[in-house]
Structure 1
Amino acid sequence: MKALPQSGALPDATRTLQPAWVRIAHWLNALAVVLMILSGWRIYDASPVFPGFTIPTGLTLGGWLGGALQWHFAAMWLLFFNALFYLAMNLVTGRIRSKFFPLSPRAVLHDLREALKGHLSHADPSRYNAVQKFAYLFVMFDIAVLIVSGLAIWKSVQFPVLRELMGGYDNARVVHFCAMALLAGFIVIHLTMVALVPRSLLTMIRGR
């Protein structure tokens, strides 16, 4: 006879691991980030931050500078309001504390070594390991830097404090580009991890 789950517990197949608001925010964020990166590459090519380095046109979005700017600004508002919603919900529900903390450098290094050896367990998909916690907190911070540096570039005169915080307009462009590069790197690693543990994708789609 199959043992019944303990009182109050749900079988793994029916237990909700990712609430609906997390999944919605995740996919909206993914859409906004992809649109912003592709259109941002076209904007970059119009005035390269690093002379001699450009992005292949086939990887960009917008077709021309004006079109790329329209895509970029549209995706910018989606990213901004979605990030506010995600952060607010994490704070209100207490998820940011329960999911991402406690966290220590020692735990991150330990789990990173285990992951590189292929020994890191994924037995409980409802809990993040230290590497995941660090990666998700990092990408939240990185998106915040993207938003702030983007404002310093877009509204340089209206937000002089942000501009000076970035070290001036030209440095703001460098910060914005580097933050974008780090985000693109995170996406590559994230997709690699999803390919290695495909059930994580199903969890983000179905919640279970």
Structure 2
Amino acid sequence: MSVLPTPVRAPLEHRHASHPRWLRLTHWLNALAVLIMVTSGWRIYNASPLYDFSFPLSITLGGWLGGALQWHFAAMWLLLCNGLAYLLINLASGRLSRQFFPLSAKGVAQDLWAALRGRLGHADLSRYNQVQRLAYLFVILDIAVLVVSGLVLWKSVQFATLRELLGGYEAARHVHFVAMALLVGFVAVHLLMVAVVPKTLWAMIVGRKERT
């Protein structure tokens, strides 16, 4: 009588790291909303520049101010609703505390130093290192600032309290622009990291990394 061997569980680096469907959906919807909002926002900015430069029309969306505003408002609602869904699911499932905490200055410094030396592991893509945790918490806060300052620019009279908290309408314009610039910077770094570890893109598309 033959005895079947007991299955041996694959080590962590050989197992699939999965991302749930809701996470992948909200991720790509957020990416779409950010792309539309940033490029249409650049066209809106060009109509009344804050600083001594403007964005090339070839990288803006909308064609004209009215068209850019329509794209911007449409993407704003997508970003707001999708972002709230992302936060609520994270809170309700307990994922927020599991994935983004604990977080410490020492842990961030250690993971950043390991990343700079090319020694930061990427075996389990479903778990964030402390640099990622800090970056994702930052971008959540940054998008919240974008939404709040955007509401002031959109409906300054109706959101008078928010306007005053931001230091007035003109100050809100500066806050909105800086928050946008920080978001673009985050996206640039995020894309660089995807280029360095391309399997992270596959995991966010199909829900798991390729078998190694």
TM-score range, shorter chain: over 0.9
Map of 2:185 onto structure 1? 185
Map of 1:31 onto structure 2? 32
Task: In structure 2, give the amino acid aligned to 1:4.
Answer: V
1:4 is the counterpart of 2:5:
no
RMSD: 1.6
Map of 1:103 onto structure 2? 103
Secondary structure of residue in 2 paired with 1:78: helix
Give, in whole Å, the separation in 1 of the partners of 2:108 and 2:8.
36
What is the number of residues matched between the two proteins?
202
Counterparts of residues 14-93 of structure 1 (less than 5 Å)? 17-50=18-51, 52-93=52-93
Give, in whole Å, the separation in 2 of the partners of 1:185 and 1:2.
50
Cα separation, partners in 2 of 1:76 and 1:2, compared to 1, 3 Å: same
Question: Which whole-Å deviations, capped at 9, do the CAs of 1:159-204 have from their partners, x for residues lacking one?
Answer: 1111011110000000000000000000000000001111111111
Task: In structure 1, give the amino acid aligned to 2:15.
Answer: D
Give, in whole Å, the separation in 2 of the partners of 1:113 and 1:176.
32
Give, in whole Å, the separation in 2 of the partners of 1:22 and 1:154.
29
Question: Which whole-Å deviations, capped at 9, do the CAs of 1:39-85 have from their partners, x for residues lacking one?
Answer: 000000000111x2111111100011000000000000000000110
Give, in whole Å, the separation in 1 of the partners of 2:109 and 2:172.
31
TM superposition shift of 1:3: 4.1
Identity %: 61
- Which is worse superposed, 104-113 or 173-182? 104-113
1:124 is the counterpart of 2:128:
no
TM superposition shift of 1:4: 2.7
Q: Larger Rg: 1 or 2?
A: 2
Map of 1:164 onto structure 2? 164
Question: Which whole-Å deviations, capped at 9, do the CAs of 1:6-49 have from their partners, x for residues lacking one?
Answer: 8xx9x724x5x210000000000000000000000000000011
TM superposition shift of 1:5: 2.3
Secondary structure of residue in 2 paired with 1:55: coil
Cα separation, partners in 2 of 1:205 and 1:2, compared to 1, 3 Å: farther
The structure, 1 or 2, with the larger RCO (C-alpha pairs under 8 Å, 6+ apart) is 2
TM norm structure 2: 0.92
Counterparts of residues 127-146 of structure 1 (less than 5 Å)? 127-146=127-146
**Runs of 5+ consecutive residues of structure 2 not aligned to the other structure:** none
Give, in whole Å, the separation in 1 of the partners of 2:160 and 2:192.
40
Give, in whole Å, the separation in 2 of the partners of 1:30 and 1:124.
23
1:196 is the counterpart of 2:196:
yes
Secondary structure of residue in 2 paired with 1:49: coil
Give, in whole Å, the separation in 2 of the partners of 1:83 and 1:180.
16
Structure 1 moving runs of 4+ over 6 Å: none
TM norm structure 1: 0.93
